Amino acid sequence: MSTVATYSYTHSVTYVTDNILKSLKDIILLSGLDPEHFADRWESNTRAIKTWLGTGDLRKVILEIYNPATDKLVTRWDIDIVYGWSDGDGSFWTDTEQLKYAIKKAGLLPSQAKYKLMLDTKPGAMSHRQLKVGTAGAA
């Protein structure tokens, strides 16, 4: 029975990690942002999210879109992590038109805007250096 529970938990962590990253990739693409930076860090971000989900230390995944000329935040999108079981699969949704509007309102073309992925963890969680991954960093 414990083998099934372990497999199920590991499978769930992998499933949630994959869905978070795929959702963020879709947001980046549909908002007209350059996905290259995100794609370059896919493996590192996967390892960090999967590890911190597995330990229960991940609290939030944040995508901040900013103006690189001023470093001013244009908009952000948060995924709050809630640990627990439910009968259905989780779902992610965002209005990418709203993100495009916020970028345009800031006077930027989507191709000019930059973004950074940040992971908020509980105090005392392993650092990214301990995980041996790069920071999610800015594009």
| 3-class SS of residue 90 | coil
Give the pLDDT confidence score for residue 4 in this predicted structure.
41
Tens-digit pLDDT profile for residues 15-42: 889 988 988 898 888 888 889 999 999 9
Tell me how far apart the alpha carbons of residues 39 and 105 are, in angstroms, rounded to a whole number: 26
Give the pLDDT confidence score for residue 137 in this predicted structure.
43
CA distances from 96 to 8, 35, 40, 90, 131 (A): 32, 15, 22, 19, 32
Residue 5 has pLDDT above 80, yes or no: no
Cβ-contact 15, 51 below 8 angstroms: no
Tell me how far apart the alpha carbons of residues 138 and 17 are, in angstroms, rounded to a whole number: 20
Beta strand 72-80 with 58-67 is antiparallel
More confident residue, 134 or 85: 85
Looking at the domain 2-131, which fold is it?
A: Cell Cycle, Spindle Assembly Checkpoint Protein; Chain A (3.30.900)
- For residue 90, the number of C-alpha atoms closer than 13 Å in the C-beta half-sphere is 17
Nearest C-alpha neighbor of 108 from the set 66, 77, 138? 66
Tens-digit pLDDT profile for residues 45-98: 999 999 999 888 999 999 999 999 999 998 888 888 887 655 555 444 556 677
Give the pLDDT confidence score for residue 47 in this predicted structure.
93
Q: Whole-model pTM?
A: 0.72
Q: Find where tokens 């950074």 sit.
A: 116
Tens-digit pLDDT profile for residues 93-131: 556 677 677 777 877 777 788 999 999 999 988 876 555
Give the pLDDT confidence score for residue 96 in this predicted structure.
64
